[in-house]
């Protein structure tokens, strides 16, 4: 695998749809809130994103969910989102309380938003390119 840093199970990685405005907003939010820089990022469309999808036997062309990799395991949909909120800390970790809602209900709501995200939030023609200050947090 060709990453810009050595990948190991201590890295939490958020794989996101790089052209989705909502997804890019989530990345910006995590960057702002994740003061300890626990989370690294890769767009699903990047080489690193594709290689990670292959590593975890996930569909390489299905961008209906972001993927959160924690402790060498992948999480999808609402479980990924809630675990991410827990990991960035602060008051956001309180959202993890919603994990008690049955997964099929949480994932249904997540899927409705994911299916309509381009229509509701728009999309970019190209993936986000981080500035030099943030470059170390992104996999390519």
pLDDT at residue 17 is higher than 60: yes
DSSP states of 79-105 = HHHHHHHHHH-GGGGGGGGGGGS-HHH
Alpha-carbon span 128 to 27, nearest angstrom? 10
- Give the model's pLDDT for residue 2: 45
- Give the model's pLDDT for residue 10: 66
pLDDT in tens, 46-78: 999 999 999 999 988 777 778 999 998 999 999
Mapped onto helix, strand or coil, the DSSP state of residue 111 is helix
Return the CATH number of 12-121, one of 1.20.1740, 3.40.30, 3.80.10, 3.30.450: 3.40.30
pLDDT band, residue 125 (cuts 50/70/90)? confident
Judge whether 19 and 121 are in contact, CB under 8 Å: no
- Give the model's pLDDT for residue 1: 44
- Give the model's pLDDT for residue 63: 73
What percentage of the chain has pLDDT greater than the value 70?
92
Contacts of 129 (CB under 8 A, 6+ apart): none
């Amino acid at each position: 695998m060709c990453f810009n840093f050595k990948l190991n199970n201590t890295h939490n990685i958020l794989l996101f749809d790089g052209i989705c405005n909502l997804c890019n907003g989530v990345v910006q939010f995590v960057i702002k809130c994740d003061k300890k820089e626990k989370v690294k990022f890769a767009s699903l469309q990047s080489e690193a994103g594709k290689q990670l999808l292959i590593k975890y036997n996930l569909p390489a062309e299905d961008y209906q969910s972001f993927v959160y990799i924690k402790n060498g395991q992948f999480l999808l949909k609402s479980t990924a989102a809630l675990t991410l909120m827990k990991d960035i800390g602060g008051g956001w970790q309180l959202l993890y309380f919603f994990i008690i809602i049955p997964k099929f209900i949480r994932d249904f709501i997540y899927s409705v938003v994911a299916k309509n995200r381009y229509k509701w939030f728009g999309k970019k023609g190209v993936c986000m390119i981080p500035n030099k200050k943030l470059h170390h947090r992104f996999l390519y």
